[in-house]
Chain A
Amino acid sequence: MSQWVIKGLRTGIKSTRYPNVAETAAGVSPGFPAETNLGGALAESLVAGCPTRALGLGPQGVEVDRRRCVHCFRCIRGAKRPLDWESGYEWARIGADGAHRDHRLGRPFGRSVHILVVDAGDCGACLNEVKQLNNPYYNMHRLGFFLTPTPRHADVMLVVGAVTEHMRHALRKAYDAMPTPKRVVAAGACALCGGVFGPSFICGSGAAEVVPVDVEVPGNPPPPLAILHGLLVAVGRRPPANGAG
């Protein structure tokens, strides 16, 4: 077994230095279309081409509702006048239910946070990105985040997926089973607005229908750093994103 110890040591430190230093590696985030000062028929065709109605026309030009964006790239690829694109990953915002509460979990909970991941019916990409949080690159343990299989130990519930009819009950039960104080982080377009799937006869239009959402992390799927930012926002260790959205 010693070979594994040596292997582990020889691999060295891979972890990102986020949140102290911004991560700049390529391919960590799909990015979002940026609000672009554009009007007229070009803007209208872009808005009409958006399959999830994430784009809208506003006084400043094309507005982007990140919560609804599913990274279909139709507004840049093949468009006559593509929208600007912005990378980054600090996207988490305080949700509708979170605004009413103090979004800090309080000092005793901020540094050792146990997270229950509930997949309420997504496509598996969000879930896979959540799994990546445990890999050496993101290593959520260094920030005091731990995944737990039971709501009884959980401080934060991380919901992914548009809530399916079959998971609605289980999601609510899990939320009820969590001890207070508790926070809910909804990650991914599906969990925020139903994404591609909802609302329909079987899918809701997001987790907020069933549980109060404190922090919203847009993206489809949100990359690991965005989810990490969402968790840090949930425990009050990073400020939420302001501006666009």
Chain B
Amino acid sequence: MAIELGQMAAQAQTRWPGRVRADTEQDADCAYRIECEPQALPEVCNWLFSDLGYSFGGLVVEEAARWELRYLFYGDREQGWVHVIARLSADQTRVPSVSTLIHAADWHEREAEDLFGLVFEGHPRLGDFVLHNDTWQENLTPMRRSFDDRKPAAWRTPDSDWKPRQIVEEAGAFLMPIGPIYSTATGPAHFVLETIGEDVIRAQPRLFYAYRGLEKIAQGRAAEDLLLIAERISGTSAFAHSLGACQAVERICRIEVPPRARVLRVWAAELERLRHHVGAIEGICESTGLVVAAAQAAIIEEDLLRISGALTGHRYFFGLNALGGLTIDLDDCALLHAAWQVKAAVSRLSELERMLSMSSSFLDRLEEVGNVGASDAREFGLVGPVARASGVSRDLRRAHPYLGYERVDFDVPCETEGDGYARLRVFFGEAAQSARIISAVSSSIPQGAFRAPQVSLGAGAALGWVEAPRGAALHWIRLADDGVVDRYRIITPSFANWHGFRLGAERFAFQDFPIILATFALSVHENDR
């Protein structure tokens, strides 16, 4: 499967002579670039994905003098990143779809079609995705440069006849609509469940009710202000996303982050991961109606929020990351104290894990429920704990270390069953690993500056990646000469995992639906952006 480094370029060029031009060496982003003509896209991408075992990261569309479509792939550490780039002339909007070969690209292409008006030929499900057709007129392309994002929407002419597609053909089949306002405190999402009663035959989430157009409103802002937006992609993983954005900008402008800031960033990122996973565990306990366990997890979550708040001033790490480091230095004593508090919280978490593993009525609701197979998980491009519960173990902290993760000793918990209980175990396992990292780095924080002394912004483009609590998050940033954001592309783990949510939700009964939803620990905010 793996291929000798440097040979990939030669192989690509011999397989598609004259149609593909590939770099033989990694660039500063540890990435190989393969430029190919649009018609060769599906084959090249499929070669990387199916033959060489790369994961599909996402699709970045950039509008300049020409359309530039960048398909991001990443493999294990030695495989590096591969950017497959296709260019179209400005007036050309049709490009062959790779989705029928790489299903993980499905939603990326739908989004690009909806927002840019590019047509992916061969994609069977274009239209009504980010912009709902019952709210917006068709053929509106807000991500194009010509579209003014400041003006409130005055040109809404909704398609009042729009209705969800129904594909189940069975006597008595009907659609069960849920949401967008449903349950007690949930993000806005709409589900169309096709059923004949009892069992969900087809689950189709309709998202983007929380679409805030972040990629669009980021354009033209100063790089510094970009972090405000990055933090608010998903409030519950704010630090991870701002870190992704910081890394991209730092890479563009060759900003050297001081060692102390790198360790502090690891510290905060792992605390955030721990807190997110405790929240996910709480959600799972609550969905099964096990209130005492949910309350125990909630206590731990609130403890961790208070630790964050006391240490950094904000419970969700807003305003902590800065280009080139952090906005404030954290006191070593306070960090040690906080690490000790985290340790205490995690020991209560492992006690909770022990008790849950002995509650058979709780396990009955999770075991063999919401199964996602390994091959499906790979083909849908699932990421993070959800993928690791199905045996897809790729973790960006390991595959492409950043912040010095390569020197940190930790395990990547992985399960193979792919059911709800496997996901719960992965959450517990990763939470324990995060606590381990926190206690390991707390004792050896280097002294020095917490922020790069001077930050000079320049033009360029780079990819920042981070293993966010929910999985791989990629931030593609292009800065113009004056350091103003030209293009900000956010690829979030929830986007990938929502796409695969149906794998787990279908074939199971209605009463399992909220439990399966909880075990996926999805965020609509992170997905919708």
Contact = CB atoms under 8 A, between A and B. Distances in A.
Touch A–B, Cβ below 8 Å: yes
A21 interface: no
Contacts of A134: 185, 298
B401 interface: no
A204 B180 CA distance: 18
Interface string B352-386: 00010011010000000000000000000000000
B294 to A, nearest CB: 9
Interface in A112-148: 116-132, 134-138, 147-148
A240 interface: no
Nearest to A138: B302
Contact of B314 (A8, A30, A169): A30
A72 interface: yes
A7 B355 contact: yes
Interface stretch (B161-169, B212-220, B496-504): B212-220
Interface stretch (B55-63, B150-158, B429-437): B150-158
A201 B299 contact: no
Given A201-B147, A202-B142, A148 B235 contact: no
B295 A8 contact: yes
B319 interface: yes
Contacts of B315: 27, 30, 129, 221, 223
B210 A201 contact: no
A72 B302 CA distance: 22
B447 interface: no
Given A1-B361, A167-B210, A201 B238 contact: no
Interface in A74-123: 74, 77-78, 116-123
Contact of A73 (B302, B313, B524): B313
Contact of A167 (B180, B182, B305, B361): B180
Interface stretch (A35-43, A192-200, A229-237): A192-200
A166 interface: yes
Contacts of B327: 73, 77-78
Interface residues of A, number: 70
Interface string A163-189: 011110110001000000000000000
A200 B150 contact: yes
Nearest to B361: A1
A7 to B, nearest CB: 6
Contacts of B233: 123
B328 interface: yes
Where chain B touches its partner, the secondary structure class is: loop
B135 A132 contact: no
A166 B217 CA distance: 17
Contacts of A242: none
Contacts of A137: 298-299, 302
B296 A27 contact: no
A244 interface: no
Contact of B308 (A25, A27, A116, A200): A27
A161 B299 contact: no
A70 B230 CA distance: 13
Contact of A118 (B147, B156, B181): B181
A124 B526 contact: yes
A161 B212 CA distance: 10
Contact of A135 (B142, B153, B188, B295): B295
B87 interface: no
Contacts of B148: 201
Contacts of A31: 313
Contacts of B231: 123
A4 B352 CA distance: 10
Contacts of A169: 135
B232 interface: yes
B234 interface: yes
Contact of B229 (A29, A78, A162, A196): A196
B306 A26 contact: yes
A70 B318 contact: yes
Interface string B382-423: 000000000000000000000000000000000000000000
Q: List the 6 closest A-B pairs by CB distance, nearest first.
A: A125-B235, A27-B309, A27-B306, A135-B298, A27-B310, A26-B310
Interface of B: 132, 135-136, 142, 147-153, 156, 180-188, 208-214, 216-217, 225, 228-229, 231-236, 238, 279, 290, 292-293, 295-296, 298-299, 301-302, 305-311, 313-316, 318-319, 327-328, 355, 358-359, 361, 523-526, 528
Given A125-B238, A161-B210, A200-B212, 5 more contacts: A27-B305, A27-B308, A116-B181, A202-B213, A221-B316
15 contacts: A25-B306, A30-B313, A122-B525, A127-B187, A136-B299, A137-B302, A149-B183, A149-B184, A164-B209, A165-B135, A165-B136, A166-B211, A170-B209, A196-B229, A200-B150
